Amino acid sequence: MRIDYCLLVPAAAILMSCAGGPAVAPEVRLGAANSPQQLRELLESIRERTDVEAMMGRARIYNRLREMEKTDSPTLLCMADAADIDVLSHGATPEAKKESAARLAAHFRDRAANPVLSRSSFPGHLGEPLRRVVLLQIAAFFGEAASRGEFKLSLEKLGAASLEFAEREALSPDAVKLWRKRATAASARALELASSQEPLEPSVDARNFCESESSRHLEEGTRSADLGTREKASRSEMEVVVQWYVLALAHYAVVRETAVELAPAQGHALAGQEIIVRSLCDLICREP
């Protein structure tokens, strides 16, 4: 009697086909899951899987749970976004990457608008408006990787937040000009997107940002912070220093918002956020 050994191996447990080539990971089907309990059972069934299909399945399930349970839990939002970060950084299809990037862009806009959803908290009198700017900068990066509409909406909100930041009384005259310039640039790019129908190709910077794993975000955050501090010490133009510091805060904030549980090394690295915020505020505020 002939035995087909292929039938004896569970599809979810292998990544190689009987012919020796790569197998397509089983799709995670959400159609039959109509309750939170069923969704959580589905989550448990793919808990050990590390393929991209399972990553996308987790992202969709967590977001379906948020909708069903109508919750503002930052933890559930974090878990959903952690799964989408995995999708983006593990070679998913272009369509899957766009889907994940769109969710992340929307969620970082939500965090900027509602501090209850956010795990980020910046010190000082400029901390909250700066937090909004940083989270919307992240939304713009993910929006650029998602679609014209997501990019445009994120830029519009970033422009408005930057203009609001420019109105803070503590800022020096040069800083006011700089933040108004940043606001104008974001708003102008949003208008340009609205008036053009050309295919949107994400920039190298946006693609690198969106496709980074948490460890890479921490590395780039530290590198950007160091560059900003070096430029500040050499009395470079304020615009250059601010650009590096905001980028550093964006890299760090992605990790703080999407790491389900911070490892000690991650917590140590993220302690640098407060130092960056204080250094940035020292630069842009007028003398007391």
Quick: pLDDT tens for 39-85.
Answer: 999 999 998 999 999 999 999 999 999 999 988 889 999 999 999 99
Looking up tokens 């800022």 gives 171
Smallest CA-to-CA distance from 206 within 82, 59, 101 is with 101
16-27 in b/e form (b: 16+ CB < 10 A) is: eeeeeeeeebee
CA distance linking residue 241 with residue 73, whole number of Å: 35
Quick: pLDDT tens for 161-196.
Answer: 999 999 999 999 999 999 999 999 999 999 999 998
Q: What is the pTM of this model?
A: 0.89
Q: Which residues, 6+ apart, have CB-to-CB distance to 129 below 8 Å?
A: 161, 164, 165, 168
Question: Do 174 and 238 meet the contact criterion of CB atoms below 8 Å apart?
Answer: yes
CA distance linking residue 3 with residue 258, whole number of Å: 47
